[in-house]
Amino acid sequence: GAGVSQTPSNKVTEKGKYVELRCDPISGHTALYWYRQSLGQGPEFLIYFQGTGAADDSGLPNDRFFAVRPEGSVSTLKIQRTERGDSAVYLCASSPGQGPGGYTFGSGTRLTVV
Amino acid sequence: GQSLEQPSEVTAVEGAIVQINCTYQTSGFYGLSWYQQHDGGAPTFLSYNALDGLEETGRFSSFLSRSDSYGYLLLQELQMKDSASYFCAAPNSGNTPLVFGKGTRLSVIA
């Protein structure tokens, strides 16, 4: 597609529930990144895919968080047993390859855990 | 790991010039990037410096001094629409994801 698409744009869920957040990157971009952003803060790295594999998942806060990219394009971030502290905007970005070249971000999913 | 420091807020007058500074600490250096983010919007890429000196793109310029571990974003002829948050970012190593600073909130006033 023309840009990075994230769905849903907003998600409200109850504490303890499971959620899935979807990211559709720019066609042909091999690198895909998930970040989390709290109000007034910079994006915080979660996980990075190169193709289908997770090249770096060091930013995932705990084992409740998991992400997949089975065919090397669309990715899903999965959060189990959500907690109120998980509330944030979850941003997805893609880039043509490895390296610090410009990332294209999606508009994010605002997750609210009540 | 990577650590980037930038001022939390800056206010400037429409039509003026403003400079947003960023200092970084890193065990290696693989370039410094700048992103703009309007409230409720996605971060958008502005510029990237791999070498020392000034990179100019229209009203925006970015400068890097590797010896000082320092860079800045320069915005000229400020417009109200430039009011946004600006982030500097750098990777920990050559092929790892960007680490972002906490951002500088720029307010442009009339």
- Say if the Cβ atoms of A100 and B33 lie within 8 Å: yes
d(CA A33, CA A31): 7
Q: Chain B interface, mutation test: which of A47, A103, A104, A110, most B Cβ atoms within 10 Å?
A: A103
Measure A26 CA to nearest chain B CA, in Å: 14
* pLDDT score at A97: 76
Query: Burial, A94: exposed, middle or buried (Cβ in 10 Å; 0-12, 13-18, 19+)?
Result: buried
Contacts of A42 in chain B (CB under 8 A): 87, 89, 100-103
| Residues A45-69: tens digit of each pLDDT | 999 999 999 999 999 999 999 999 9
d(CA B35, CA B19): 14
Token pair of A54 as six digits: 């997770």
Query: When comparing pLDDT for A38 and B29, which is higher?
Result: A38
* pLDDT score at B91: 87
| Residue B24 burial (CB count, 10 A) | 22
Mean pLDDT along residues B73-101: 92
- Quote the mean pLDDT of chain B: 93
Mean pLDDT along residues B23-30: 83
CB A11 within 8 A of CB A19: yes
Minimum mean pLDDT among A84-88, B46-50, B79-83: which range? Answer: B46-50
Mean pLDDT along residues B68-97: 92
Whether residue A1 is predicted with pLDDT greater than 60 in this model: the reply is no
d(CA B110, CA A88): 32
The highest-confidence range among A86-100, B55-69, B92-106, by mean pLDDT, is B55-69
* pLDDT score at B100: 94
- Say if the Cβ atoms of A107 and B97 lie within 8 Å: no
| Residues A78-107: tens digit of each pLDDT | 999 999 999 999 999 999 876 666 899 999
| Interstrand relation of B104-109 and B9-13 (parallel, antiparallel or unpaired) | parallel
* pLDDT score at B93: 74
Whether residue A3 is predicted with pLDDT greater than 60 in this model: the reply is yes
CB A62 within 8 A of CB A47: no
Of chain A, the percentage scoring pLDDT greater than 70 comes to: 96
Q: Name the 3-class secondary structure at A84.
A: helix
* Band (B7; pLDDT cuts 50, 70, 90): very high
Mean pLDDT along residues A13-24: 98
Whether residue B105 is predicted with pLDDT greater than 60 in this model: the reply is yes
Q: Which of A41, A43, A59 sits opposite B43 (nearest CB)?
A: A43
DSSP string for A69-101: -TTSS-EEEEE-S--GGG-EEEEEEEESSSSSP
Cα A30 → chain centroid: 15
Sign of CA dihedral B43, B45, B47, B49: positive
Whether residue B20 is predicted with pLDDT greater than 60 in this model: the reply is yes
Query: When comparing pLDDT for A110 and A55, which is higher?
Result: A110
The DSSP call for residue B27 is S
* pLDDT score at B1: 66
